[in-house]
Structure 1
Amino acid sequence: MELVTNSKKVESKRNQRKPLQKIKFSTFLKYLFVITLSLLMVIPFIWMLSSSFKAESEIFGIPIQWIPETFYWSNYVEVWTRVPFHLYYLNTLKITVITVILNVLTSSMAGYAFAKVRFPERDKLFFLYIATMMIPYQVMMIPQFMLMSELGLVNNHLSLILLGAFNPFGVFLFRQFFLSIPDELLEAARIDGLNEFGIYLKIILPLSKPAIASLVIFSFMHTWNDFLGPLIYLTSDHLYTIQLGIQHFITEYNTEYALLMGAAVSAIIPTIIVFFLAQDHFVKGIASSGIKG
């Protein structure tokens, strides 16, 4: 009897180990897939960084030399001195910061109204507003330009700021986040005498850091990397953004890839900084934005 019970125990232990081994192997495959995909996404950036320190003749050498034998720091010096790159940087920073601030304010107020303020046809109006996300930018491009031209805002940073200050995606993001905030909390604030703006300012915004961080990252990256908007509305060189200023290294007969890569590396630094500063809140915001429909 003892031998039979011992054999049963051994078999049960083996059966318990098999699922654990399967789980470990499946987890290993998942991590392998994620790491491989991440490397495929990072390789272009590594090549860009490596190329920015190379001589022009070494960039397209085969096989690729990921670490240059000689680092040409002069590429970055030439990027910042040949053209007014610092001016392009300041212009882009000005447009981006103002646009992000306005975007957060308008989106959070509209999201609060659609989520917590009851008014006639609220849900239908929200649906119509969100439906504008399906309209391609190419359809709105000419009407928007005609409107800005009538307002006298062509060749002016204000045109880009006004067009970027309103974002249906931001409204959707905030509305979904605000739906997760209990209505009882707002009712208690109303009983204490707070009006709707006071509730929004003193209760809603302090609780909305994840949603704010998420929208800041999306809005910052979109505005900072925007090329088509500045190309349409800006004509003076002293108003150019980084994306337009980089064109100076691309001529009709030649492309200076070393300088181009140096300018590109300089351009992505702010987006990386913003993402790392807000990544914790960003993950929370994405996770909580779809709690309620």
Structure 2
Amino acid sequence: MYVVLSFFAALSFWPFYWIFKTSLEAGGNVYKYPPSLFPWPATFANYVGAWKTVQLGGYYLNTIIIAGIGTFLNVLFSLMVAYPLARIDFKGKRIVLFLILLPMMIPVQNTLIVNYLTLKKLGLLNTYMGVVLPQAVTIFGIFMLRQAYLSVPKSFEDAARIDGAGELYIWWRIITPLIKPDVATLTIFQIITWWDNFLWPLVVLSDSNKYPLAVALVYLNSTFQVNFRYTAAGIVLSILPVIILFLFAQRYIVNAIAGGVKY
């Protein structure tokens, strides 16, 4: 079993390693066969060239702004919607939950025109908020946090009510801290999603100076037609923050998945 898993792990890892190796090569044919396993002679000149050629610093800032606003709104709104669906009894709750889950059957591409026309009426085209608002809350986030809220024993809530706590206090200070691993996991997923977001920013933003990294690298790919190593260096620079984030935060994902077994 370990041999089989190691084989598939190597297959998955090879494209990333090939991009990284290519970004460090000084010259020669990129598509040579058989491919070399190690870049020699290795150089960081491609990273310097890619950074200067497309001014990646500005696109990094755009991506951080979009990912920061989008993640904050998504986690906050998901918490606000998930709590009453999990902990409060009200008439029609099942219908509301069904209507929230129903759009999951609609492909995202089918909503582009409606969202675009709505943002046009609101005057939010070519703005960061125009990129963020249509995905400021997601069905995945609502359902995930609802399941997390359902796992909290009702005794915590009852004890807080006996002490005179209100609903808002119970939500924010009593119940929500008990699902921190799930909130952290959703935050990580949202950061990665916003960081790699490509299609919607390309549709909404007309000013290339506002593009996030994912769009900028593809849009400016013509700049690198004679030097694919610059493109490889740009790809490595774009995915490096996500890899670092995952390595430091993977324990939260493991905890959330382990806790999800009882759901």
Q: Shorter-normalised TM-score: what interval?
A: over 0.9
1:100 aligns to 2:75 (yes or no): no
Contact persistence 2:79–2:142 (CA under 8 A): yes
Task: Give 1:174 deviation, angstroms.
Answer: 0.4
2:97 is matched with 126
Preserved contact between residue 211 and residue 281 of structure 1 (Cα < 8 Å): yes
Change (3 A) 1:114 1:69: same
Partner of 2:42: 71
2:179 maps to 1:208: yes
Match for 2:71: what amino acid? Answer: V
How far residue 205 of structure 1 moved from its aligned partner, in angstroms, is 2.0
Q: Deviation per CA, 1:42-83, whole angstroms, max 9, x where unpaired? A: 111111100111245332111111211111311100111112
Contact 1:177-1:290 within 8 A present in 2 as well: no
Give the alignment's Cα RMSD to 1 decimal. 1.6
CA drift at 1:247: 2.8
- Contact 1:56/1:256, CA 8 A, preserved across alignment: no
Q: Percent identical across equivalent pairs?
A: 33
Partner of 1:266: 237
| TM-score normalised over the length of structure 2 | 0.95
SS of 1:52's partner is helix
- The one-letter code sitting in structure 2 at the alignment partner of 1:223 is W
- The aligned runs of 1:205-284 (5 Å cut-off) are 205-247=176-218, 249-251=220-222, 254=225, 256-284=227-255
Normalising by structure 1, what TM-score?
Answer: 0.85
**Rg comparison, structure with higher value:** 1
Q: Is the 8 Å Cα contact of residues 249 and 256 (structure 1) preserved in structure 2?
A: no
Could you tell me how far apart the structure 2 residues matched to 1:112 and 1:33 are? 42
> For 1:87, which of 50, 54, 58 is the aligned residue?
58
Letter of the structure 1 residue corresponding to residue 146 of structure 2: R
Q: Which moved more, 1:49-58 or 1:215-224?
A: 49-58
CA, structure 1 residues 139+196, in 2 after alignment: closer, same or farther (shift >3 Å)? same
Determine whether 1:61 maps to 2:32: yes
- Paired residues of 1:174 and 1:289 also in contact (CA < 8 A): no
CA contact under 8 A between 2:224 and 2:231: conserved in structure 1?
no
User: 1:285 deviation in Å?
Assistant: 0.9
State whether residues 91 and 241 of structure 1, in contact with CA within 8 Å, keep that contact through their aligned partners in structure 2.
yes
Q: In the alignment, which residue of structure 1 is the partner of 2:135? A: 164
Q: Aligned letter for 1:224?
A: W
**Deviations 1:137-188 (Å, cap 9, x if unpaired)?**
1110100000001101111011112122111100000011111100111011
Flag structure 2 segments of 5+ consecutive residues without an equivalent: none
Gaps of 5+ in 1: 1-28
Aligned length: 263
Cα distance between partner residues in 2 of 1:252 and 1:267? 17
Q: Deviations over 1:109-138 (max 9, x none)?
A: 211111001111112211220121121011
In structure 1, what is the Cα distance between the partners aligned to 2:27 and 2:88? Answer: 60
Q: Measure the CA separation in 2 of the matches of 1:67 and 1:268.
A: 20
User: Do 1:214 and 1:281's aligned partners in 2 also have CA atoms closer than 8 Å?
Assistant: yes
